[in-house]
Structure formats: C-alpha cells, structure tokens
Amino acid sequence: MSIGFVGLGNMGGRIARRLTDAGHPVLGYDPAPGSAERAGASPARDLAEIAAGAELIFLSLPDSRAVEAVVLGEGGLLDQAGAGLTIVDLSTAAPDSTRRIAALLDAKGGHYLDAGVSGGAAAAEKGTLTLMTGGDQEALERIRPQLETFAKKIFHLGGPGAGHSAKLLNNFLNAVSLAATSEVMVAGRKAGLDPHTLLDVLNSSSGANWATANRFPHIVDGDYLEGGLTSTLMTKDIVLYVDHLRDLGVPTLNAAGPLASFGLAANLGYADQISNRVVDAIGDIAGGVRVHEGERTQ
C-alpha cells in the first residue's frame, strides 16, 4: 500500500519513522525543510503529489484549521482524491469539522478515519501509542497492519468524529491532572516537604493520577520529558474541549483551572515548551520555586 504523510513535526515525524523503519515506503510533506528526510520518507513537492501517489494518507497537524486547509483548500487532498483513498487524521481536531470532511470524502468513494493519539513522543518512538478511532470499521481493519507499526492499542469508538471526541475528553483529564498536580507539588515544596516523599504519598493515596504516576517521578529529578505537547497546544485542546461540550449541551465546570494554568505558562515564556513546564510557571508566581534540586540536561 502506497503511503503519504502530511505533517512531520514532533509526533508526525516519529510516527512516520515507525512506518519507514517497518519497511513501508512513505511519501512525506511538511513545509519545514528536511522533515521528510529525517523521518526516512521521500519528500513530496506538494499536496497534489501526495494525493496522486498514495492509497493511504496520514495527517498529523496542529488543529482543524490546518486540517481543513490541507484537505479542503485549493490544491488540497480532496481535489485529487479518488475512490479507495483512506485518510487517517491523527490530529487533535474538532469533531464537527471531522464529520464534515468525512462526508465529503465518502461522497468521492474514500474513507476518512479520525484517530486521536495518546502516549506522547516516547510512546511514538517505541510504537506503543493508543489510538482512539472513528469512522468506517472495515476501512480501519484494512489498515490495521500499518497502524500497528506505531500503536499498541487501537480502539474503535464509532462513526466519524468519535475518535476525536474521545481524544478531547482524554486530553482534558490530562490537562486537569497535570495542572492540579503541578500546583500541589509547588505548594508541597514551599511547605518544606521532600518532593520525592510527597510523590510517594500521593501515589499511595487517593490523589494518585497520571501526572503523579508518570510525569512527576521524572520532573522531581529535573527531567521534564521534553518533546511532548506544548503549553500552547494544551491550551488549544482545552478550548476545543470546551467548544465540544457546548455543542453537546454539557456544562463545563472544571475548565477554568487548566485554562488559567497553561495560559499562565504561555505568558511566562513556556508557550512552545513541553506542557510539563506548567509546574515552573506556577513556581515562578510562587516566588521562583522549583520542585527539583537541579535540572537535568540529558
């Protein structure tokens, strides 16, 4: 199966590398020079070349605006799409936009699968990502071998948009736990508590969560797990979540905290750094507190 890949940044580049390392030839497109080559892909001149030369196309883009420009814009993928083309959108995107694109591609005899990704850069490199997919299940099963080169768990949630909906729900819980744990760890430091011992207490108690179990055991030793979701992208995902819940008619009572936390991080200079740096932003406001003794450089 001929494969195209659009968006070879932090996550896309790693996923494309898993595909190429598994022996799948990939034609890649990204405006950043050298991105395709770093992922082991052959560089495409433009989107038209991707659409003309691939049966399966992966997208890994910042948001729905970028996805719509690539798929629906002038010279975009839909212009060249023919029957049998499958597009897999690995982006974190608005479900209503996803459903609209899926309907347009379906009308041309293709399939559009939304596939929210969880696990971060480390899981992408190891091939152990979790995929939350929506769209035609038969189309999903046909490309499962390709997906399994970079994903360990693949869930089918329902029709178009279901995968992106699940992704937004998951990312919101991730944002809440990371922001709240950052605040608690800074407070613990100011209270004179040893961060390692406090973390052991939390992970043995009812306050345990993904951030206490998987992020802060590294952060308290100065390793921020660089390469993951930035504060800017985390903020974007929370806004998408709020918009999605408004569309569903569900009250959003807990979004203010993480919006304030990652907005603070962005405004204090951490916008394009990993979202784990929110703990430093909170620490800055608390008087320059760091939850670790010294930052690891490697």
Residues catalogued as catalytic = 167
- The set of residues, in sequence order, having a beta carbon less than 8 Å from that of 109 and lying 6+ positions away, is 82, 83, 84, 85
| Contact yes or no for 8/27 (Cβ under 8 A) | no
- In angstroms, rounded to a whole number, what is the distance separating the alpha carbons of residues 4 and 262? 34
Tokens matching residue 205 = 């108690």
- Give the count of beta carbons closer than 10 Å to the beta carbon of residue 106: 14
Q: CB–CB of 3/25 below 8 Å?
A: yes
Shortest CA distance to 119 belongs to which of 236, 237, 215? 215
Q: Which two tokens stand for residue 187?
A: 């407070």
Residue in this structure with the two tokens 């996805």, named with its chain if needed: 67
CA 125, distance to chain mean position in Å, is: 14
